[in-house]
A and B are shown apart, each in its own frame.
Chain A
Amino acid sequence: MSSEIDEYNGGSVLAMLGKNCVAIASDKRFGMKLMTLGTEFPKIFQATDKIYIAMAGLATDIQTLSELIRYKINMYKLREEREIEPTTLAYMVASTLYERRFSPYYVSPLIAGLDKNNKPYICNMDLIGCVTTTNDFVVGGAADDCLLGTCEALYEPDLEPEDLFETISQSLISAVDRNAASGWGAVVHVLTPERVITRTLKTRQD
């Protein structure tokens, strides 16, 4: 699953579904192979008030694609005079990726958000835009194999926002500590109908 390209700049992302809430998290590392160059590299982008999109993979593509998606979301908002829905955004990103089917961006995006009825939604996609929507958790990046293991063990359905935060944070930290290309802190956003709670985690710095 994770390939050499994922390890080039490093970084991992994760999203989980809770009871009327979603959480999305990432580490903060930016490196070049074994050399760490930055420890504040943003991988989670706000799409709307209630949707976040996280991307792991090749850093240059994360930045290019996030700007392209930002442009498309803004154009959608101007054309339609309403906010984009999470499923719509997922297929917008997927189409953007599939358009480059034969010259892909090396990214694994995750989308987490609440729709207009505040129903939580998460999905991930592969580098050419194959959307996978689940009702538990989705992962991506250099430590994705580790993340699948930790999430599979620690996740349980219908967690309240506070409990979801603990579960997603512990899953992320445990996985990222076993992946040299990820780490150096982590950010967790918990999205509820009322507010978005953002926390920075205290983690190992090696």
Chain B
Amino acid sequence: MTQRLELPKGGFNFENYQRNVALEQQGLKLPTPTKTGTTVVGIIFKDGVVLGADTRSTAGSIVQDKNCDKIRYMAPNVYCCGAGTAADTQFTNSLICSQLELHRLATGRETRVCTALTLVKQMLFKYQGHVSAALILGGYDVTGPRLLAVAPHGSTDKLPYLVMGSGSYAAIAILENRWKKDLERQEAIDLVQEAIEAGIFNDLGSGSDVNITIIEKGKVDNIKGYARPNRREPKCRSYKFARGSTATLNLSAVTVTEGDAMDTS
């Protein structure tokens, strides 16, 4: 009898679990997923929220991505910085993002940051910390500027300045020292830049550029590479190989045709 392959209905699949346990018992070390490493910060200023992030992702001590985006869209007025296992932050973000979109369509109202927070924390608590996403949510809603954080087990914080990730110690030092109430927009941006740079230079899990997102009433500014303190010097000479350098055994070329040719017979 043939078995039909069903498309997944949602939820996690554990079909490889026992096999993977058996492999582990044989003594094979299992691979580690990509971590973001990360320094992410968020602060509240006079009329909005500034989110900042570095752009390095790591797998062990290898730099996986030198320019990844850690500040992601959640709703038109809500953005989210992620730290932890990269896949978990990515998928948690997009799952909640689509639920919020549906919520907006159903209610016809602007998303509140606390709605996003509740959806995330309920999901993370349900998985008891196994989905290791640590998120900072920043946004501007009907209640004003909002800055909230969720830890992987589902606990949440509401503070005027927040940090997450392996570079959080370096970043919080700057914020504890310099944050004050009712900062001006540019002052806030400068402070976030300095906090992220502290992470970039003092934490090995963080690096490359400073990305910044400023959320104000009815306005969002996404600045990729607000500061680029780690530009690589371009190569002064070319390392191009002369054509024909590589020894080949055989060659085949398949011409790509766009669609089927019309039958005119």
Contacts and interface: CB of A to CB of B under 8 A. Distances in A.
Interface of A: 1-6, 8, 49-50, 68, 71-72, 75, 94, 97-106, 125-132, 134, 144-145, 148, 153-154, 156, 159, 162-163, 165-167, 169-170, 173, 185, 193-202
A103 B13 contact: yes
Interface in B65-102: 65, 67-68, 85-88, 90-91
Contact of B33 (A126, A159, A162): A126
B29 interface: yes
For A1, A105, A125, the residue with the greatest tally of chain B CB atoms inside 10 Å of its CB is A1
Given A6-B31, A156-B240, 7 more contacts: A99-B12, A106-B31, A126-B59, A128-B85, A159-B240, A163-B241, A195-B256
Nearest to A129: B87
Interface string B125-164: 0000011000000000000000000000000000000000
Contacts of A71: 5
Contacts of A104: 16, 20
B1 interface: no
A166 B235 contact: no
A100 B252 contact: no
A141 B149 CA distance: 36
A135 to B, nearest CB: 8
Contact of B245 (A98, A166, A196): A166
A184 to B, nearest CB: 12
24 contacts: A1-B59, A3-B31, A5-B28, A6-B31, A49-B256, A94-B87, A98-B87, A101-B12, A103-B13, A103-B14, A106-B30, A126-B33, A127-B31, A130-B85, A144-B62, A163-B243, A165-B246, A167-B239, A167-B241, A196-B256, A197-B253, A198-B252, A199-B248, A200-B248
A3 B62 CA distance: 12
A162 B243 contact: yes
A129 B91 contact: yes
Contacts of A148: 62
Interface residues of B, number: 56
B15 interface: yes
B208 interface: no
